[in-house]
Amino acid sequence: MTDKPEMPPIKLAFVIDGEVVDLLHTNERLGAILLSEPLIIDVSDKVVDGEMPNLFGLLYSPETKEFTEKPKD
């Protein structure tokens, strides 16, 4: 008999046009990020030779669709 794997503690429903289209079981951190209604950007074109660039901490402009460094104080 096989034990069921333990499911992550946060369960989220994805609703599009009033209809549940998918469910996600996740950890607290990703759950909090998704529930904060983030802007989600496809960065597939940023991958070079299978390597994902480090985008953490960069600023994003929806107008220019560009990532930039934070200004130094």
Is 33 inside any structural domain?
A: yes
Beta strands in the chain (DSSP E): 10-16, 19-26, 59-61, 66-68
Is 1 inside any structural domain?
A: no
The predicted structure's pLDDT at residue 1: 62
Is 3 inside any structural domain?
A: no
DSSP class per residue in 23-35: EEEE-HHHHHHHH
- For 36-48, write each residue's pLDDT tens digit: 999 999 999 988 8
Is 20 inside any structural domain?
A: yes
Question: Residue 56 is part of which domain span?
Answer: 10-68
Is 28 inside any structural domain?
A: yes
SS3 13: strand
Q: Which one, of 33, 13, 40, lies nearest residue 24 by Cα?
A: 13
CA–CA separation, 60 and 46 (whole Å): 14
- For 10-63, write each residue's pLDDT tens digit: 999 999 999 999 999 999 999 999 999 999 999 999 888 889 889 999 999 999
The predicted structure's pLDDT at residue 43: 94
Is 42 inside any structural domain?
A: yes
Is 4 inside any structural domain?
A: no
Structural domain count of the chain = 1
